[in-house]
Copies of this chain bind each other. A is one copy, B any other.
Amino acid sequence: MERFAIGADLGGTNLRAAAVDESGKIIEKVSLATRREQGREAVIRELSEAIKGISQKLAGPRVLAGIGIGVPGIIYLQTGMLRESPNLPGWENYPVRSEIESLVGSSVFLENDANAAALGEKWLGLGKYVNSLCMITLGTGVGGGVVLDGKIWHGVLGMAGELGHIVVAENGVACPCGGWGCLETEASASAIVRRAKDLLSAGRSPALAKAMEEKRELTSELVYEIAKAGDASCREIFQSVGRYLGIAIAGLVNALNLSLYVVGGGAAGAWDLFSPSMMEEVRARSFIFREASTRIERSVLKGDAGLCGAAYLPLQAGAVGQEVQA
């Protein structure tokens, strides 16, 4: 009988769940707004209902191999507790896994969302033909995932892959993590917006100022649009993003010598503007990059990498029916 798995994404903005077959095809997908204001129990209930709905609809002719859920933030892998999440304030030390398990009535695999995206990229995306890769996701924050020999590298507590907190600017801007000059403070969508605000204060981008007068929302997409239209100051922001991404990736290439580094997440949409300075920086700073055939590419799965990777967790574990995670 055909097997399928359910992958879900507990995002700060959207709840998504998808049924994915063993070939990686998405058979069914739902997306809901994350109504955070209703409280975490209500959010968990909605996500669990969505998962159960998909499961009931497809089970019968097909066998559910298991459920995987990507969660933004730091997870204690063994206990399934969310340690903290910048996108889900108030969820600190919340036992996400056991709460969902009791609502859906079966065990689930919990994973950091960027780790899930890295695994998805390994399974179905650019990583299909390699064993190991690093993924960096540029969103509100900067996430990361390291896949080594086909599996997510978890480290001792499951907290590995926090590539957004590699130090790239010795004396950089303060980061929510407590550090400063992290990749996240220099290359996230929030960093792009922060730098755009600096331009506005300094009166250095008339085009941006005009967009503000037109009451447009200041987002990284808007900054990209204005940069694309030729605004030199806004273009510099993306050159800087590329430079810092390059510093982080050069260090990863030198430390791990993998064959593939993938950049994904919403702000990866600005690839054409930041990748030239990124590649230049990596080439200059990594002799291993110059020696070895290292690929640094933009994610091809885009938004679905995390969902697919979450679904792959039970498939990879070879779970038949519902298997309890060690």
- By a beta-carbon cutoff of 8 Å, the part of chain A in contact with chain B is 74, 83, 132, 144, 146, 148, 153-163, 165-170, 177-180, 182, 247, 250-252, 254-259, 284-288, 290-292
Contacts and interface: CB of A to CB of B under 8 A. Distances in A.
A101 to B, nearest CB: 24
A166 B83 contact: no
Given A146-B255, A247-B170, A251-B251, A287 B165 contact: yes
B74 A157 contact: no
A259 B160 CA distance: 11
Contacts of A251: 165-167, 251
Contact of A155 (B180, B247, B256, B287): B256
B254 A157 contact: no
Contacts of A288: 74, 155, 157, 159, 162, 165
- Each complex incorporates copies of this chain amounting to 2
Contacts of A83: 291
A257 B157 contact: yes
A244 to B, nearest CB: 8
**Complex A-B, nearest 3 residue pairs according to Cβ-Cβ distance, in ascending order:** A155-B257, A160-B257, A179-B285
Contacts of A247: 167, 170
A44 B207 CA distance: 66
Given A168-B167, A251-B167, A251-B251, A292 B159 contact: yes
30 contacts: A74-B288, A132-B156, A146-B255, A153-B256, A154-B257, A155-B256, A155-B292, A156-B259, A156-B292, A157-B291, A157-B292, A158-B257, A159-B257, A159-B292, A160-B255, A163-B255, A165-B285, A165-B287, A165-B288, A166-B254, A167-B168, A170-B170, A170-B247, A177-B285, A177-B287, A178-B284, A178-B287, A179-B284, A179-B287, A180-B285
A154 B149 CA distance: 11
A287 B144 CA distance: 15
Given A247-B167, A284-B178, A255 B292 contact: no
A285 B255 contact: no
Contacts of A178: 284-285, 287, 290
A134 to B, nearest CB: 8
A79 B263 CA distance: 32
A309 to B, nearest CB: 18
B285 A160 contact: no
A199 to B, nearest CB: 21
Contact of A160 (B144, B153, B161, B256): B256
